[in-house]
């Protein structure tokens, strides 16, 4: 069955965009991994809310971030659609954690410094900086409203005292510089202490400006704005390993940018057909190889992955490798093409493997084997019987992300009812955990959850009919070197760490 672009499947109805179908639990055995999970108990470090009110405060004001943080934990009534977290990303050291929301804000959390007197606060994060990254816009030529929602955030490796990150909404990518300032210059010759110009006739002596200490202030300034290069909605950005270029991908094209050039980009992939009635698939995600600057991968709504080499040709419409798993004809159904659409693709840190997430499964591919994945993990196979109702309430179009741990030995992805899943690639064990407001006491140990499918339900199980599909974990992040994870649930950001005995 070939679905035509005029059909519902190529339309995310909530946003009216051209896009990919936008989107049995295993035994809850203890999880272990190479980076030191021990017995696999995960504890809640802290629960944070997107600090809506911080954006209203002057950046010059002295803000006690801990008080702000705690005040949000006590107040849940103010949350709006704009507060929903839409992306989560650790920086390369894991000391900073950035979130973007549907209101166009970027909130950066900084890890609490360890001390001998506060060992229990290892891994805790607090508000470091917040700024408005994107504003709502309107394209008058196309009569199209452009949302301010932050689709992706990507950090650049730190080269000096400042931090740099890329953020993007549907159309525009911005490069932000986040820096600290704890000194201010005083003693100007041509300006008074208020900053007003002085009358040159009153200046009789030459003053040497000096730097005076001041309260620490974190500033976020836009350094580059990369706009007007995408006709369709941007779904991915990825920084190249040469740290000079990055790419942005929309539904039909992928563009290559240089960080120093904002007025032009180079189109490296274009799958738009001459006749849009012949459109059969769209690009859903794209990422550069972590070590080879010439290689990148992108996935499609047909469940395929293409590996491209920019050394082969300037326009990478012809892939170098093509990864696809043949479908079992006996499992063919009306929903087969929808649930096979890949919502996320990630290279492993080693660069040897590719991980993809479709609606029901996570798959791991070896770059040297194109015909089938080497590992397939069922995320919520118990939903297979409920695809019809999930189609009617549009949940079948949800785009779940997936992440690797620092050693590529464990993978994590989200599910419904605020559940998220972890799979140990070495032991083949898996666990279902829940990011719940009811269980959000600090240092609380997460208990494995299990979903019951028919039959008699045990005391510690939850029925598949009782799942709350409005609560979903779409965005997660894993610390690059430690067992600390960040899980976004609506406007709540949960940070967990492996229990240290």
Determine the Cα angle at 493 with ends 489 and 499, to 5°. Answer: 110
- Please report whether residue 423 resides in a domain: yes
Per-residue pLDDT tens over the stretch 409-419: 999 999 999 99
More confident residue, 208 or 79: 208
Pair of tokens at residue 221: 């300034």
DSSP conformational letter for 65: H
- Pick from 465, 484, 359: nearest CA to 415: 359
Distances in Å between the Cα of 401 and the Cα atoms of 117, 302, 440, 456 are 37, 17, 23, 32
Least confident of 117-126, 177-186, 311-320, 426-435: 117-126
| Contact (Cβ atoms closer than 8 angstroms) between residue 417 and residue 434 | yes
Looking at residue 59, what is its pLDDT? 30
Looking at residue 119, what is its pLDDT? 53
The count of domains in the chain is 1
- Please report whether residue 14 resides in a domain: no
Q: From CA 229, how far away is CA 250, in angstroms rounded?
A: 10
Q: From CA 285, how far away is CA 236, in angstroms rounded?
A: 6
Looking at residue 486, what is its pLDDT? 95
Q: What CATH number did the domain enclosing 267 receive? A: 2.130.10.10
Look-up of token digits 């563009």: 255
More confident residue, 292 or 45: 292
- Please report whether residue 439 resides in a domain: yes
130 confidence band (pLDDT: 50, 70, 90): very high
Looking at residue 51, what is its pLDDT? 55
500 confidence band (pLDDT: 50, 70, 90): low
- Please report whether residue 420 resides in a domain: yes
Q: From CA 325, how far away is CA 323, in angstroms rounded?
A: 7
- Please report whether residue 406 resides in a domain: yes
121 confidence band (pLDDT: 50, 70, 90): low
Per-residue pLDDT tens over the stretch 139-165: 888 888 999 999 999 999 999 999 999
Q: From CA 405, how far away is CA 466, in angstroms rounded?
A: 31
Per-residue pLDDT tens over the stretch 11-34: 343 333 444 333 333 333 334 334
Q: What is the mean predicted confidence (pLDDT) over 56-84?
A: 47
Q: What is the mean predicted confidence (pLDDT) over 213-236?
A: 92
User: Strands (DSSP E) along 102-159, which ranges?
Assistant: 105-111, 125-132, 137-139, 144-146, 152-155
Helix and strand totals (H; E) in the chain:
3, 34
DSSP conformational letter for 194: T
Q: What is the mean predicted confidence (pLDDT) over 448-464?
A: 82
CA end-to-end span of the chain, whole Å?
A: 54
Determine the Cα angle at 203 with ends 198 and 205, to 5°. Answer: 140
Q: Can you give the pTM of this predicted structure?
A: 0.83
- Please report whether residue 5 resides in a domain: no
Give the domain range for residue 259.
42-51+80-179+226-498
- Please report whether residue 197 resides in a domain: no
pLDDT at 56 over 50: no
- Please report whether residue 309 resides in a domain: yes
């Amino acid at each position: 069955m070939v679905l035509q672009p005029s059909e519902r499947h190529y339309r995310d109805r909530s946003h009216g965009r051209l896009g990919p179908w936008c989107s049995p639990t295993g035994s809850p055995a203890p999880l272990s991994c190479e980076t030191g999970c021990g017995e696999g108990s995960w504890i809640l470090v802290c629960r944070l809310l997107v600090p809506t009110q911080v954006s209203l405060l002057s950046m010059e004001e002295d803000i006690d971030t801990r008080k702000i943080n705690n005040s949000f934990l006590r107040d849940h009534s103010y949350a709006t659609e704009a507060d929903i977290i839409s992306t989560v990303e650790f920086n390369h050291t894991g000391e900073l954690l950035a979130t973007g929301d549907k209101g166009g804000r970027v909130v950066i959390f900084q890890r609490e410094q360890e001390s001998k007197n506060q060992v229990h606060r290892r891994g805790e994060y607090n508000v470091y900086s917040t700024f408005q990254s994107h504003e709502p816009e309107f394209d008058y030529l196309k009569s199209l409203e452009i949302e301010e929602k932050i689709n992706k955030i990507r950090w650049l490796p730190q080269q000096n005292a400042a931090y740099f990150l890329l953020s993007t909404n549907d159309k525009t990518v911005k490069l932000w510089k986040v820096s600290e300032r704890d000194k201010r210059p005083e003693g100007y010759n041509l300006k008074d202490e208020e900053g007003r110009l002085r009358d040159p006739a009153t200046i009789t002596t030459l003053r040497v400006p000096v730097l005076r200490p001041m309260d620490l202030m974190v500033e976020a300034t836009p350094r580059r704005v990369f706009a007007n290069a995408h006709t369709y909605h941007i779904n991915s950005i990825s920084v190249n390993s040469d740290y000079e270029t990055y790419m942005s991908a929309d539904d039909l094209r992928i563009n290559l940018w240089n960080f120093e050039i904002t007025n032009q980009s180079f189109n490296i992939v274009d799958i738009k057909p001459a006749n849009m009635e012949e459109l059969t698939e769209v690009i859903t995600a794209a990422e550069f190889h972590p070590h080879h600057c010439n290689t990148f991968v992108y996935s499609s709504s047909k469940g395929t992955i293409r590996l491209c080499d920019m050394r082969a040709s300037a326009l990478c419409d012809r892939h170098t490798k093509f990864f696809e798993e043949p479908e079992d004809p006996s499992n063919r159904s009306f929903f087969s093409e929808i649930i096979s659409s890949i919502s996320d693709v990630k290279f492993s840190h080693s660069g040897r493997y590719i991980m993809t997430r479709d609606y029901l499964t996570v798959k791991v591919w070896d770059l040297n084997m194109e015909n089938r994945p080497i590992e397939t993990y069922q995320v919520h196979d118990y939903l297979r019987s409920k695809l019809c109702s999930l189609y009617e309430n549009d949940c079948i179009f949800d785009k779940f992300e997936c992440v690797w741990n620092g050693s590529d030995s464990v993978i994590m992805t989200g599910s419904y009812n605020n559940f998220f899943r972890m799979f140990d690639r070495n032991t083949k064990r898996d666990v279902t955990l829940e990011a719940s407001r009811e269980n959000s006491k600090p240092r609380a140990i997460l208990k494995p959850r299990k979903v019951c499918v028919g039959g008699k339900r045990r005391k510690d199980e939850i029925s598949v009919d009782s799942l709350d599909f409005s609560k979903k974990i779409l965005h997660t992040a894993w610390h690059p070197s430690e067992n600390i994870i960040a899980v976004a649930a609506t406007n709540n950001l949960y940070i967990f760490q492996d229990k240290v005995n």
